[in-house]
Amino acid sequence: MLFSTLSGCIKNDGPDESMSFEFTLIDGSTKNINEYRGKIVLIDFFGVYCKPCQYQMIVLKEIYDEYKSNEFEIISIDAWISLGETTDLIEQFLSDAEEQGLSFNWIFGADDESGTLYDKYANEGVPMLYLLDRNGNIYYTKAGYTEYSVLVDKIEELI
């Protein structure tokens, strides 16, 4: 039971390996993932109501605090917009976390209502992590909760 709780909300279909996409920031503007070339980027597909995703955010905060000065970026994208989550819900999640002393100061975005990003990149489950090298190539990917030490090892290999 504990393993399934920490591993994530997982489905068994595999993701498409192409990583060229646009996403919507919670302020409504759009970004293209290719704008982050030159940086090491950790993409976190999550769901606000996903408990393993919430635990993953705590790990991501530690990672971000340690590596943000190393041309490193985290982009968390809510993959459950097509399931009814909204940018307002993401903002509320961030506000609630702030009230509990957790500042998630990286980039937050959302999938479209059709679930385009979910279908391509997060259909194995959430949290779904992709670590991209400075050229935008996928260096590491994992569906389900990932421990701090694993992520640090992978990031250190790229730095």
Condensed to tens digits (0 to 9), the pLDDT of residues 86-144 reads 999 999 999 999 999 999 999 999 999 999 999 999 999 999 999 999 999 999 999 99
Of 128, 119, 125, nearest in space to 146 by CA: 128
Longest dimension (CA), the chain: 41
The pLDDT of residue 156: 97
pLDDT score of 74 more than 90: yes
In a domain, 46, yes or no: yes
Instruction: Tell me the pLDDT band of 7, cut-offs 50, 70 and 90.
Output: very low
Rounded Cα gap, residues 64 and 53, in angstroms: 16
CB distance 120 to 22 below 8 Å: no
Rounded Cα gap, residues 139 and 94, in angstroms: 28
Q: Is 56 exposed, middle or buried (0-12, 13-18, 19+ CB in 10 A)?
A: buried
Residues in the chain, how many? 159
Q: Which of 16-20, 40-44, 58-62 has the lowest mean pLDDT?
A: 16-20
In a domain, 153, yes or no: yes
| Total of domains in the chain | 1
CB distance 62 to 52 below 8 Å: no
Residue type, 131: L
The pLDDT of residue 20: 87
In a domain, 6, yes or no: no
Instruction: Tell me the pLDDT band of 69, cut-offs 50, 70 and 90.
Output: confident
In a domain, 5, yes or no: no
- Percent with pLDDT over 70 in the chain: 89
In a domain, 126, yes or no: yes
Give the domain extent around 79.
Answer: 20-158
CB distance 60 to 42 below 8 Å: yes
In a domain, 29, yes or no: yes
In a domain, 27, yes or no: yes
CATH number for position 30: 3.40.30.10
Which phi and psi angles does 81 have, rounded to 5°? -60, -40
In a domain, 2, yes or no: no
